């Protein structure tokens, strides 16, 4: 399977590996992006399921909660100057109110919803005409709960968390819920429990971990045994309830919840601009030049 300079760029953004390492991995993987990412991990060049360290878009992650319903939304624009403008946050709030009320299935459905006497699409076009930059809703989640919702927005919208807690919102439980939103933002938890990790993901992880051990010089039989210990670490790093509490690593997050007789229904976590490119950084051109130079 052939691959392009854009594929090399995408792999670089996904793994944080160097251009030539990504090109070699794609060559060895016959252009298969997932296999190439696994090869980079096996070679110790990239880490498991880590998104691009370079945040390549402008905008904000915002949260709006109205009683038992809440929204986490990412709204993108073209410049940091616009993203920091209070008017841009007001747009995110207005759009979030529509999501709370109309419960659209996706962004396309959202754009057709009524907003301020028009549709959301027309509303955004009006704001674009005033601000002078493209504005787009990239993604959102909408939660309804029988318990209570809480949120955390970091660095003025660079990342955000919405947390759906079961049960009554006592002061003690609200304090724990707040700490857990900080935990999610700090650790970038991917799952709530071990049960949420798919069999496919688990088998892929085991295969990569085994190959890592073999590459370290371990015999295959020893590598097999090492995998189980490393899978435990995978759970502890990626599953919220298995993680050590960031304020007291003698406790797990699950212990924290037990202490106040509380539980979590679900959570969502967005990093602003994750996987997008900034216009000021033409990565595809940069990659194309480096790949072309290497082929001479």
Per-position pLDDT tens, the chain of length 296: 788 988 888 888 778 777 888 899 999 999 999 899 888 888 877 654 443 333 337 999 999 999 999 999 999 998 899 999 999 999 999 999 999 999 999 999 999 999 999 999 999 999 988 888 889 999 999 999 999 999 999 999 999 999 999 989 999 999 999 999 999 999 999 999 999 999 999 999 999 999 999 999 999 889 888 998 899 999 999 999 999 999 999 999 999 999 999 999 999 999 998 877 555 444 445 445 444 544 44
Write the CATH number for 68. Answer: 3.30.479.20
In the structure encoding, which two tokens stand for residue 214, read together?
Answer: 């073999």
Domain that residue 159 falls in: 58-191+261-271
Are residue 5 and residue 115 in the same domain, yes or no? no
25: left (phi over 0), alpha (psi -120 to 50) or beta: alpha
The whole model's pTM is what? 0.74
Residues 68 and 187 in one domain: yes
pLDDT score, position 132? 84
| 137 is a domain residue | yes
State how many domains the chain has: 2
107 and 41 in a common domain: no
Do residues 43 and 98 both lie within one domain? no
Same domain for 85 and 14: no
157 is a domain residue: yes
Do 132 and 115 share a domain, yes or no?
yes
H or E element that contains 284:
helix 283-295
Residues 6+ apart with CB under 8 A from 16: 46, 47, 50, 52, 53
70 shares a domain with 94: yes
Do 75 and 25 have their domain in common? no
Same domain? 119 vs 14: no
Question: The tokens of 275 are what?
Answer: 């996987």
Residue 131 within a domain: yes
Same structural domain, 47 and 31: yes
């Amino acid at each position: 399977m052939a691959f392009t300079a854009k594929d090399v760029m995408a792999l670089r953004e996904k793994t944080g590996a160097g251009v030539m390492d990504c090109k070699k991995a794609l060559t060895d993987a016959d252009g298969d992006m997932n296999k190439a990412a696994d090869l980079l991990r096996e070679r110790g060049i990239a880490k498991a399921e880590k998104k691009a360290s370079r945040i390549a878009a402008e905008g904000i992650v915002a949260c709006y909660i109205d009683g038992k319903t809440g929204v986490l939304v990412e709204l993108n624009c073209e410049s940091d100057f616009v993203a920091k403008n209070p008017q841009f946050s007001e747009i995110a709030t207005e759009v979030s109110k529509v999501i709370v009320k109309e419960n659209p299935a996706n962004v396309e459905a959202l754009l057709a919803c009524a907003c301020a006497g028009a549709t959301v699409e027309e509303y955004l076009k009006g704001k674009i005409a005033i601000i002078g930059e493209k504005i787009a809703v990239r993604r959102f989640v909408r939660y309804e709960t029988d318990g209570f919702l809480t949120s955390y927005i970091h660095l003025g919208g660079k990342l955000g968390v919405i947390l759906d807690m079961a049960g009554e919102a006592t002061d003690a439980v609200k304090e724990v819920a707040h700490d857990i939103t900080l935990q999610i933002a700090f650790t970038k938890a991917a799952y709530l429990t071990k049960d949420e990790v798919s069999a496919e993901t688990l088998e892929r992880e085991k295969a990569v971990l085994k190959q890592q051990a073999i590459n370290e010089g371990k015999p295959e039989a020893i590598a097999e045994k090492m995998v189980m210990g490393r899978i435990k670490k995978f759970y502890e790093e990626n599953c919220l309830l298995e993680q050590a509490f960031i304020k007291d690593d003698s406790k797990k997050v699950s212990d924290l919840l037990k202490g106040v007789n509380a539980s979590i229904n679900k959570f969502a976590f967005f990093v602003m601009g994750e996987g997008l490119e900034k216009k000021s950084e033409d990565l595809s051109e940069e990659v194309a030049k480096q790949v072309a130079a290497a082929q001479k």
